[in-house]
Structure 1
C-alpha cells in the first residue's frame, strides 16, 4: 500500500500484521483440497493524516461478491435487528426505501410487509435471488455513482437509503459515497451501519480484519468519508451488533448533532485521533493467539475433543493467524447449508451441519461468531447436558460452563 485511499497521503503507520491468508469467504469444496490457494497479506495500517485504518485492496469486490457464501437471514438476531430498525422508522406509505448490499432481503422484507415501495441493490446473484424469492425487488449490481443515478432516474429519489455492513467492503470510498448521494432525496436520510474501530481496538476484535473489509472506521474518519461524497454526518448511534457498531445518519446537508460530539470525544480519549491509541494493539493480538493455542494444545494433550461452531469470515482470520488445523479443531458446524461439505480456507477444517455436535458430544465448542454470543449460547444450551463447555476466544479466552 503506497497511499491512503481516502485522502491520498503516503504516510501510513503499521497497526498489526496478520501475515498472509486466503480470502475469508472462499470456502473450499472437496475437489479443491489438492489445488493451490491464493493468499494475500493482511496488514492493517492507519493514515497519519486522516486516521483512516485500512488494508491494501489486494482483491476486488468482484472477486468476493459475485457469488457470496454469507446469507444474513441465518442469524435470527440480525433479522430481528433489521425488523426493529424498520419498525422504528416513521415512513410514509408513499415513501421509497433503498438498501445497498441488501443481501437476501433480511431487512427489506419488513419494508415490503408494511406495503412500502423499496428496492435492494445487491451484487451477489445467488443471495439476490433469495431476496427476490421473498418478494423483495432486487437489482443485481454494485453501487457506483452511475448506478445510483440510474436508479434515481427510474424510481425517483429515495427517502431512506440503508447501507448495513457494506461501508467497510468497498475500496472506492468516494465513488460509493457519491452513489449513496445520488440515490437519496435532497431532504432524505442515509443510514450506514459499520463496525466501530473503537470497540475493535478496545476488545481485541482483530478477527474482523479480513480482505473483504478494506477499511475500519472511527466516527471521525467516517465523517470525512461521508463528506467526500457529498453527505453530512448529522447523528450517530452506538450499537451492540458485531461486537460494537456505529449507525451513522447522514443527509445531503445539515449539522452534526450532540451525539456526534459525544462519540468523537470518546474516540479522542482512547487515542484514536492520534497514533497513541494504536501502538499496543499488535501485542494484545499476539496474546489472544497464544492463549487460544495454549488452550487447544492442552485440550489435545488431555484427550479432550474440541469442535467449532460457525464458519464466519472472522473465524477464518482467527484460524489462519493462529495456525489452527483439524488436529486441534476437528470440525466446525454452520447453519448455512451452502457451507456444508466444504472446508475453511487455508486451514482446511471440515464444515458440517449443526446436528453433528449433539451426535458427537464434544468436550468443548469453540464459538467463532462471538459477536452473536447471546443467540449462540441459547442455541447451544444443550451442550451442558453432557458437561460440554463453550469457548470464546475474543476479547480474551473464556471457557463458559
Structure 2
C-alpha cells in the first residue's frame, strides 16, 4: 500500500479495527446463511504528507451503485443543507450550482425552490431517482476528470460546485479533485464539507472509520489534496456536523485567508502535523470498546433490555469492533424503510421501524448516530415516560 496522495510507502499504523463487512450492505433474511466477506479496517498515516487513509479494498462501484443511505431522513441535515444553500448563494452569487454525490436531492431541492439552475451528479441509481422524483435534475455518474469535463461541456461551467460528505469517499483523490476543477468556472467556487480529523482524534470518533471513507483530513492534508487537482484553499469553516467537520472553500486561483492559518495552528498545537500526535488514539479506542461492552453485559446480567436507535454506517463499525450481537442488543430501529426487515452487516442485528421502541418499552436505547444527539434526544423524549434511558457511546459512555 502506497499513499494515494503522494505515493510514499511510509505508512504508519494509527488504529487497527480488525476486519468488518462494508458498513451499508445490510443483509436480507435470505442472505443470513450465505458467506459474508469482510475486509481489514486499518487506519494508517502517511509519514510524508500526513494523509490518514485506509487501503482501497472496496471500490466505490461496489458501495454506491445501489445505496442504503438517504440524506433526507435526517430533518436536521435537510435544515443544515437549506442554510448552506442560502449562505452559499449569497456568498458566491452563483447562477448554476452542481452538487457531486447529491444523494436524494436533500440539498439541491433548496436551489430548485429558489429558481436557481442546478444539477446533481450522483452515482447511486436508486437515490438519484429519488432526487429526480423531487424535481432535482440528476445524472447518474461517478465524478472523474473526464465526467467533469463532459458535464461542463453539456451544461456549462458552474459558479458553485458542492461536494459535501464525499471527499473522503473516493480512493482516487487526485482524479476526483481534477473533476471538481473541470466542473467549476475559472472564477467560481468549490465548497467541500468533510469530517475533521482533529475532532475524530480528540473525541474518539473512531466509528466514522469505515470502508466508504478512504481518507480522513486535516486542513493541512486537505490543502495538499486540493492543490493536486489545481484548486487553492482560500477559506475554511469549522462546523458541528458529524461530530466536527470542515467546510473548505476552494477556487482555481486565490490565496489562503486568515481562517486557514488559524485552523492550521490549532492542528499543529494538537500534534497532528507530526506522527507523535496520533500514538495514543488506539488506546482511547480500546477504552470505548471496553466501557460499552461492560455496560451491555451488566445490563444483560440484570435482565434489562437494550435496543438501538439508528442503523448508520458508523454504528456498524462500532457494533463489529465491539463484537455486539443480538444477545446484547436485541434490535435497532431506523426511519429509513429501505433497512426495515434487514440485518446489520456482520453483527446480524435486526433493523425494525422506530415504532417498535414505544411498543416494547426497553430499559435502555443505545443511540448509534450520536452525531445527531440534539435531534434524537428530542425525538426520543417519550422514552422517559416509562423510565427508559438513552445511552451514548461516543466520545465516552454516557447514560442520560
TM-score bucket of the superposed structures, by smaller chain: over 0.9
Within a 5 Å distance, the mapping from 1:340-351 to structure 2 comes to 340-351=340-351
What is the CA-CA distance between 1:101 and the residue it aligns to?
0.1
Cα distance per residue 1:354-383 (max 9 Å; x no partner) = 000000000000000000000000000000
Provide runs of 4+ in structure 1 moved above 3 Å. Answer: 90-94
Instruction: Determine the C-alpha separation between the residues in 2 that align with 1:174 and 1:130.
Output: 29
In the other structure, the counterpart of 1:14 is: 13
Instruction: Determine the C-alpha separation between the residues in 1 that align with 2:89 and 2:382.
Output: 41
Is 2:205 the counterpart of 1:205? yes
Instruction: Determine the C-alpha separation between the residues in 1 that align with 2:22 and 2:154.
Output: 36
Is 2:140 the counterpart of 1:130? no
Secondary structure, counterpart of 2:33 in structure 1? coil
Cα distance per residue 1:293-316 (max 9 Å; x no partner) = 000000000000000000000000
Instruction: Determine the C-alpha separation between the residues in 2 that align with 1:146 and 1:29.
Output: 36
Is 2:74 the counterpart of 1:72? no
Secondary structure, counterpart of 1:181 in structure 2? helix
In the other structure, the counterpart of 1:366 is: 366
Instruction: Determine the C-alpha separation between the residues in 1 that align with 2:323 and 2:199.
Output: 25
In the other structure, the counterpart of 1:104 is: 104
Is 2:114 the counterpart of 1:114? yes
Q: Is the 8 A contact 1:93 1:116 kept in 2?
A: no
Q: RMSD of the TM alignment (CA)?
A: 0.8
Instruction: Determine the C-alpha separation between the residues in 2 that align with 1:248 and 1:335.
Output: 30
Instruction: Determine the C-alpha separation between the residues in 1 that align with 2:110 and 2:2.
Output: 41
What is the CA-CA distance between 1:126 and the residue it aligns to?
0.2
What is the CA-CA distance between 1:73 and the residue it aligns to?
0.2
Instruction: Determine the C-alpha separation between the residues in 1 that align with 2:200 and 2:135.
Output: 36
What is the CA-CA distance between 1:280 and the residue it aligns to?
0.4
Instruction: Determine the C-alpha separation between the residues in 2 that align with 1:277 and 1:246.
Output: 19
What is the CA-CA distance between 1:93 and the residue it aligns to?
8.1
In the other structure, the counterpart of 1:234 is: 234
Q: Is the 8 A contact 1:96 1:160 kept in 2?
A: yes
Instruction: Determine the C-alpha separation between the residues in 1 that align with 2:383 and 2:102.
Output: 34
Q: Report how many aligned residue pairs link the two structures.
A: 399
In the other structure, the counterpart of 1:24 is: 23
- Structure 1, unmatched stretches of 5+, are none
In the other structure, the counterpart of 1:394 is: 394
Q: Is the 8 A contact 1:42 1:55 kept in 2?
A: yes
Secondary structure, counterpart of 1:128 in structure 2? helix
Instruction: Determine the C-alpha separation between the residues in 2 that align with 1:256 and 1:20.
Output: 40
Q: Is the 8 A contact 2:161 2:189 kept in 1?
A: yes
Instruction: Determine the C-alpha separation between the residues in 2 that align with 1:266 and 1:71.
Output: 34
Is 2:125 the counterpart of 1:151? no
In the other structure, the counterpart of 2:214 is: 214
In the other structure, the counterpart of 2:37 is: 38
In the other structure, the counterpart of 2:258 is: 258
Secondary structure, counterpart of 2:40 in structure 1? strand
Instruction: Determine the C-alpha separation between the residues in 1 that align with 2:89 and 2:54.
Output: 38
Instruction: Determine the C-alpha separation between the residues in 2 that align with 1:317 and 1:196.
Output: 18
Within a 5 Å distance, the mapping from 1:154-233 to structure 2 comes to 154-233=154-233
Q: Is the 8 A contact 2:119 2:136 kept in 1?
A: yes
What is the CA-CA distance between 1:94 and the residue it aligns to?
7.3
Cα distance per residue 1:245-284 (max 9 Å; x no partner) = 0000000010000000000000000000001110000000
Q: Is the 8 A contact 1:93 1:115 kept in 2?
A: no
Secondary structure, counterpart of 1:90 in structure 2? helix
Q: Is the 8 A contact 1:55 1:215 kept in 2?
A: yes
Q: Is the 8 A contact 1:94 1:117 kept in 2?
A: no
Q: Is the 8 A contact 2:94 2:158 kept in 1?
A: no
- Structure 2, unmatched stretches of 5+, are none
